[in-house]
Chain A
Amino acid sequence: DAGVIQSPRHEVTEMGQEVTLRCKPISGHDYLFWYRQTMMRGLELLIYFNNNVPIDDSGMPEDRFSAKMPNASFSTLKIQPSEPRDSAVYFCASRGAVSRTDTQYFGPGTRLTVL
């Protein structure tokens, strides 16, 4: 079975540009999570969805960040305008509804560099 798919794997952009990160969760999973990983702050949960509905976006740093999940197999995280401090690795993860362990499975991540 395919795991969580993220694209692009690497993104280099200039300050002020719009950045869109994409995620396809594992088929049948109804929870989707967006994380950000930096050296300074470690892994931070930005937002998560259940059945395509945003449940908790308290980790989204500011209004420049937005996330959508138009259907069960696709989600985007958008940064507009981007800033150098947004440089990080962004992970998407998904979890199935019937899961004794609540295990989240992560995608390979998108390494974002904002110049």
Chain B
Amino acid sequence: AQKITQTQPGMFVQEKEAVTLDCTYDTSDQSYGLFWYKQPSSGEMIFLIYQGSYDEQNATEGRYSLNFQKARKSANLVISASQLGDSAMYFCAMREVPFSGGYNKLIFGAGTRLAVHP
């Protein structure tokens, strides 16, 4: 079964520094997608960044980048120049391919709570 593991329940970083949030995944599929979502204290789920398994370059979106290491099955999120507003819960997710076919469901990790200190 496909699985997402986020081993850091909580992280903290000093404002303006970079931070890496870990995500490892397990899949036997060759084609898959990896996602990161941010959930601030207000509760909404905000899409941050996507990496496809066949993408040759690591994805970047502004201050967010995804350190994709396919052989290690890891998809770590890097946030550069942290801001106070980055304090939130961060979820890694993977697009699953059901055996029966059809749409690829997302499965989520347990999340990492990031605190940015001034």
Residues of A bordering B, CB below 8 Å: 31, 42-43, 45, 48, 50, 55-56, 89, 91, 93, 100-109, 111
Contact of A45 among B45, B102, B106 (CB under 8 A): B106
Q: Does B108 contact A (CB under 8 A)?
A: yes
For A93, the chain B residues whose CB sits under 8 A away are 45
Q: Does B90 contact A (CB under 8 A)?
A: no
A110 to chain B, nearest CB (A): 10
- Contact indicator A42/B111 (Cβ below 8 Å): yes
With the chains together, A111 CA to B91 CA distance in Å?
19
- Contact indicator A89/B43 (Cβ below 8 Å): yes
Interface size on B, residues (CB 8 A): 23
With the chains together, A50 CA to B50 CA distance in Å?
22
Known A-B contacts A43-B91, A101-B33, A101-B52; A111 and B43 likewise in contact (beta carbons under 8 Å): yes
- Contact indicator B105/A109 (Cβ below 8 Å): no
For B46, the chain A residues whose CB sits under 8 A away are 106
- Contact indicator B105/A91 (Cβ below 8 Å): no
Interface string of B36-47 (1 = CB under 8 A from A): 010000111111
